[in-house]
Structure 1
Amino acid sequence: MAVKLEELLNDRQNFRKLRISLQANIVIKNFGKDDEVCIIDNATDEILGVVGQDELYLISFFTGKITLGKMLEELNDYDKEDIKAFILQLAEQKIIHHSIS
């Protein structure tokens, strides 16, 4: 049985091993606006969301398949609870998936 993402985010031991990746069908496109980037379902061309530069910075870590623990070390200006909430939101929208390394 798969462990829920929320449980992993709150489990200190597994939290540092958590890997987050974009779903295979998801692409991120910038349409010329510096401050906004669209998250798009490549199969349907549906825009799933629009994110700002801070959120894009977080998503860029996911695509690099960097562990969440490493990401949080590099993003020490961000509130960890905000990052967790953002990650859960992306998972709920089926934009990302997770695994344990």
Structure 2
Amino acid sequence: MSKVILQISYDVAPEKRDEYLALMKEMRAQFTQVRKKNYNVYEVKGRKNAFLEEFICGSMEEFDALEDDLDEKSEELVNRLEMMLDGRAKYTTLIEVA
């Protein structure tokens, strides 16, 4: 089985930075501890308020289930995040080849 990586990159409105960082702590707990996902969040070097979320899935089936299997708490967190964005999010999906 090939790994699948989903990367979501976006900018956060500067005035929402502190609120965003607090939300990321909640999201990390939700996705890693409750939903048992391999999930990380990074800030882009040299670009304040530019962030990247990364999910590493062990298979295409796990990747396909990411959005389909969102529970109520996960949906609420994602909705809160969307209100903080400064522009649109960019989604990149990578599939392991070897």
TM-score category, normalised to shorter length: 0.3 to 0.5
Identify which of structures 1 and 2 has the higher relative contact order when contacts are C-alpha pairs closer than 8 Å and 6+ apart: 2
| TM-score, normalization by structure 1 | 0.34
